[in-house]
Amino acid sequence: MTDNAVIVNGRRRPLANTATNATALDWLRTSGLSGSKEGCAEGECGACALLLATPAPGGGTAWTPVNACLVPVYALDGQEIVTAEGLGTPEAMHPVQEKLAEAGGSQCGYCTPGFVCSMAGEFYRADRSAAVVSAGRSAAEHGDGCSAHAGEHGPNGFDLHALSGNLCRCTGYRPIRDAAYRLGEPDPADPLQQRLAEPAPAPVATDAVVDGARFIRPASLADALALLRDEPDALLVAGSTDWGVEVNIRGRRAPLVVAIEQLPELRALSVADDVIEIGAALSLSEVERGLDGAIPLLAQLFPQFASRLIRNRGTFGGNLGTGSPIGDTPPALLALRARLVLASADGEREVDLAEYFTGYRQTIRRPDELIRAVRIPRPLAATTAFHKIAKRRFDDISSVAVAFALDITGGLVTDATIGLGGVAATPLRAHATEQALIGQPWNAATVRAASDILGSEGTPMSDHRASSEYRSLMLNTALLKLYSTTVLDAKEVSA
């Protein structure tokens, strides 16, 4: 449809006759903006990164880096983006481009546009502090890799973890990090800085039909639910971090795609005395900022969930909606005893997450339903931990994920909930281990006995990520690791 368009680098570009399955990356490159590159086509390298204008928490706009290779271009209908070409030119470089050039942060240059966009997103972050971080937290103490741990800030307040989704195979990360740490504050006259004071583009209703395929962004939740009732085979898409991979790598196509990530009814976050409710279409980055540590278990999970680029689009609803047994959020939410609000045109129902998964990528959600929200009951357990075992520290799929939520009173385990991922056809609760812990003293003997039970939970299989024996061993040692951590914490407190 000729009225569908995206604002790109300040210019309106129509989407007329663009295939509904096209990604933003393919559309940009076809349009002559070839700065964004395809490195992996599944959101792991960041070479395709661009900046998306999104609503800032306190009003105005934030420049949010996202993977162009995963975003359906029609999901950007009516939205505003900036590519590497829109940041600067060879004659008038952007400060990020200048610092990268000065530090020698580009060699073959293939990954550079993506690094520039991710770095620019952090450059414009509203709460980036210019204060020098305390000694012992400086970047030099953590090595040279950009996949540094969450919250590693430079002397200019730059969070290096903002670049964890960008990979470079030839330059080495040291000069890239140096460039990031040499950035000053944005010039108040910088047009992209000034743009932050204005509202982000409002969502627009989209209905595009090209060659018989259709992409719809409903105007309201009611419209979306009516559409699901009438079109039960419709594909729901939020952040598209999973579907984008299917499109790019497996060549899958859907005759009808329904985008729901901007529906306001799916984007609420509320914290009450008895329950915390998280809208299913909020990005993980938005949830992380909104909770601000209110759920310690999720605070441990967020930095380990893929990369910032993925978290800027990925949602709880999408991670649960796929029914994948290796998603990172289900084990944590199981440990938190989360419940899901499923909505349809006939009304809503609330289900226990422990009863939601029924088989490999199968759930009790009906075709006419969507996940509206995740509800986490309070009070929260006092002792929590999230253990992710993967081949890489960050930006990787887990081989095994274990989440613990324990209450320990007077040296006794009074309650225990354990969520597991990667060890069965579905995420699951470790009920046998929970029962072995409850009512027992929190000591080495109890933990060793319960660890043997935990190692036998699930039905782990062997694949290219890990063998079944390895997965069982990781389960067996997870509880011991938690116990040793609590002992060390207790010693530090007493000291």
Q: What is the pLDDT of residue 144?
A: 37
Question: Quick one: 160 and 69 in the same domain?
Answer: yes
Tell whether 246 is covered by a domain. no
Q: Is the pLDDT of residue 208 over 60?
A: yes
Whole-angstrom distance, CA of residue 204 vs CA of residue 7: 13
Q: Is the pLDDT of residue 137 over 80?
A: no
Where is the domain boundary, 321, 355, 377? 377
Mean of per-residue pLDDT scores for the chain: 92
Going by pLDDT thresholds of 50, 70 and 90, the confidence category of residue 140 is very low
How far, CA to CA in Å, does 478 sit from each of 304, 408, 471, 488? Answer: 16, 18, 11, 16
Whole-angstrom distance, CA of residue 435 vs CA of residue 96: 54
Question: Quick one: 270 and 160 in the same domain?
Answer: no
Q: What is the pLDDT of residue 492?
A: 54
- Give pLDDT tens digits for 35-80: 999 999 999 999 999 999 999 988 999 999 999 999 999 999 999 9
Tell whether 230 is covered by a domain. no
Question: Quick one: 371 and 449 in the same domain?
Answer: no
Tell whether 160 is covered by a domain. yes
Q: What is the pLDDT of residue 147?
A: 36
Going by pLDDT thresholds of 50, 70 and 90, the confidence category of residue 192 is very high
Q: Is the pLDDT of residue 287 over 60?
A: yes
Question: Quick one: 42 and 66 in the same domain?
Answer: yes
- Report whether 342 contacts 221 (CB < 8 A): no
- Report whether 355 contacts 334 (CB < 8 A): no
- Give pLDDT tens digits for 348-358: 999 999 999 99
Whole-angstrom distance, CA of residue 21 vs CA of residue 73: 8
- Report whether 310 contacts 43 (CB < 8 A): yes
CATH number, domain with residue 457: 3.30.390.50
Residue 38 CB contacts under 8 Å (≥ 6 apart), including other chains: 25, 29, 47, 48, 69
Question: Quick one: 320 and 414 in the same domain?
Answer: no
Average pLDDT over residues 215-220: 97
Please, is 229 exposed, middle or buried when counting C-beta atoms within 10 Å of its C-beta (0-12, 13-18, 19+)? middle
Reading the block at residue 56, the tokens are 């800032």
Buried b (16+ CB within 10 A) or exposed e, 109-148: ebbbbbbbbbbbbbbbbeebeeeebeeeeebeeeeebbbb
Question: Which long-range contacts does 8-13 make (Cβ < 8 Å, 24+ apart)?
Answer: 8/33, 8/81, 8/82, 8/83, 8/86, 9/33, 9/81, 9/82, 9/83, 9/85, 9/86, 10/86
- Give pLDDT tens digits for 394-444: 778 899 999 999 999 999 999 999 999 999 999 999 999 999 999 999 999
Question: Quick one: 286 and 362 in the same domain?
Answer: yes
Where is the domain boundary, 357, 377, 397? 377
Residue 56 CB contacts under 8 Å (≥ 6 apart), including other chains: 62, 126, 196, 200
- Give pLDDT tens digits for 334-374: 999 999 999 999 999 999 999 999 999 999 999 999 999 99
Q: Considering Cα of 375, then 323, then 77, then 208, what sign does the dihedral take? A: negative
- Tokens 């890799």: give the residue: 145
- Report whether 416 contacts 396 (CB < 8 A): no
- Give pLDDT tens digits for 253-279: 999 999 999 999 999 999 999 999 999
Average pLDDT over residues 278-299: 97
Q: Is the pLDDT of residue 132 over 70?
A: no
Q: Is the pLDDT of residue 391 over 90?
A: no
Secondary-structure percent of the chain, ordered helix, strand, coil, rounded to 5: 30, 20, 45
β-pairing, 11-14 with 5-8?
antiparallel
Tell whether 465 is covered by a domain. yes
Question: Quick one: 105 and 194 in the same domain?
Answer: yes
Question: Quick one: 42 and 105 in the same domain?
Answer: yes
Whole-angstrom distance, CA of residue 235 vs CA of residue 248: 16
Q: What is the pLDDT of residue 487?
A: 82
Q: Which of 423, 436, 431, 492 is nearest to 462 (CA)?
A: 423
Q: What is the pLDDT of residue 172?
A: 85
Q: What is the pLDDT of residue 143?
A: 37
Domain count, the chain: 3
Question: Quick one: 420 and 473 in the same domain?
Answer: yes
Reading the block at residue 442, the tokens are 């929190």
Tell whether 113 is covered by a domain. yes
Q: What is the pLDDT of residue 395?
A: 79
Whole-angstrom distance, CA of residue 237 vs CA of residue 370: 11
Q: Which of 391, 388, 482, 389 is nearest to 433 (CA)?
A: 482
Reading the block at residue 320, the tokens are 């649960």
Q: Which of the 8 DSSP states describes residue 159?
A: B
Question: Quick one: 81 and 179 in the same domain?
Answer: yes
Where is the domain boundary, 377, 412, 434? 377
From 228-237, 366-375, 399-408, 459-468, the region with the lowest mean pLDDT: 459-468
Buried b (16+ CB within 10 A) or exposed e, 357-376: beeeeebebeebbbbbbbbb
Reading the block at residue 431, the tokens are 């009920």
Angle (CA) 208 209 215, round 5°: 50
Percent of the chain with pLDDT over 70: 94
CATH number, domain with residue 304: 3.30.465.10
Strand locations in 76-223 (E):
80-82, 206-210, 213-217
Reading the block at residue 37, the tokens are 């590159």
Q: What is the pLDDT of residue 153?
A: 87
Tell whether 471 is covered by a domain. yes
- Report whether 126 contacts 153 (CB < 8 A): no
User: 139 is in which domain, residue-wise?
Assistant: 1-201
CATH number, domain with residue 43: 3.10.20.30
Question: Quick one: 341 and 472 in the same domain?
Answer: no
What's the one-letter identity of residue 145?
A: G
Q: Is the pLDDT of residue 151 over 70?
A: no
3-state helix/strand/coil string of 292-342: CCCCHHHHHHHHHCCCHHHHCCCEHHHHHHCCCCCCCHHHHHHHCCCEEEE
What φ, ψ does residue 300 adopt, rounded to 5°?
Answer: -75, -35
Q: What is the pLDDT of residue 396?
A: 84
Tell whether 220 is covered by a domain. no
Tell whether 314 is covered by a domain. yes
- Give pLDDT tens digits for 13-43: 999 999 999 999 999 999 999 999 999 999 9
Q: What is the pLDDT of residue 491?
A: 61
Residue 410 CB contacts under 8 Å (≥ 6 apart), including other chains: none
Question: Quick one: 68 and 172 in the same domain?
Answer: yes
